[in-house]
Amino acid sequence: MTEAYIVDAVRTPIGKKNGGLSGVHPADLGAHVIKAVVERTGIDPAGVDDVVFGCVDAIGGQAGNIARTAWLAAGYPEEVPGVTVDRQCGSSQQAVHFGAQAILSGTADLIVAGGVQNMSQIPIASAMVVGQQYGFDTPFGGSTGWAERYGDQEVSQFHGAELIADKWDISREALERWALQSHERARTAIAEGRFDREIVPVGDFTTDEGPRETSLEKMAALKTLTDGGRLTAAVASQISDGASAVLLASPEAVERYGLTPRARIHHLSARGADPIFMLSAPIPATRYALEKTGLSIDDIDLVEINEAFAPVVLAWLAEIGADPAKVNVNGGAIALGHPLGATGTKLMATLLNELERTGGRYGLQTICEGGGTANVTIIERL
């Protein structure tokens, strides 16, 4: 059986809303990380079999197959194709899955997988807003089948996060303690240079903009997102801009280009759960991945679980029983930001580098996604 290797993984610094990357065209953001991964590995770009990129709200500068546009904007050969994936917040993690599956099937040898999102230029849910001019108030309204199954329940990440906090009885204080820890861990990681190997600066923009000094007292003073709720903006991921990419290779490509793999794909899968809760799917998805691999959560050295909202992580911890000291050790999206389509390979870059820094063997990554799905990838450091 063949293997799918991770040769390199890079990302831009993550810009906050209207911050350092807000004026950069999405195609140029994507081209930046594509060029970085090609130049760092020394591959012949003509040897790439496909470019698979994640992106959400594919309108405006993100429309028209941004994977293809970014590759061409990087100046690389026209004969190399590209395809854009939308699995919501897990889009670029799914890009890795599709790329690795192509390699494992023997139909590809070299894949650039990644993602891009400029949320300053194209706000979250823009595609839905644009759809309103065509008579669609929501993606679900008007669907007989959806209404028969789920009625007119609110479908939103905010509602789902509140439902999770309620079901697992996670207090506002616990949510805010996790958020505070996220900022503290992120600031420490930046100060210690833990992200230096994965970040490719964009001009003079070199450092993630999201992490800040805050306190439980400041968080406690914020208004909740809904009356009587537990969530505030402090326990949610930040609106962000950025791009990220990984180079995946078969053993044949490794030999052909003289590459040095940094990790292998040990497992990849995706599972679904209740779309109204929306953000709880990492729990069954992780259980499924561990069962398929025969690993226990104690065998996993590091975990990256996207901090869409703090209750997502805390409910997952309660159900899976992972050691919190192994989870999001360099902070998460609450502090570092969540550039939707780019987050999957952004987390992959961080997971890979932290495994190397600490000498760990297995890393597990999972992301909750719109529609109530979740991807899980397990990588093994080489």
Please identify every residue annotated as catalytic.
Answer: 89, 338, 368
Of 83, 304, 353, nearest to 197 by C-alpha is 353
Write phi, then psi, for 222 (nearest 5 degrees). -80, 150
CB 161, CB 312: distance < 8 Å: yes
The secondary element (H helix, E strand) that includes residue 282 is helix 282-293
C-alpha to C-alpha distance for 85 and 103, rounded to whole angstroms: 17
- The Cα–Cα gap between 175 and 309 comes to 9
**H or E segment and range at residue 320:** helix 310-320
Residue 331 to residue 305: CA distance in whole angstroms: 10
Q: How many CA atoms lie within 13 A of 114 on its CB side?
A: 36
Measure CA 315 to chain center: 19
Strand pairing category for 373-381 and 5-11 = unpaired
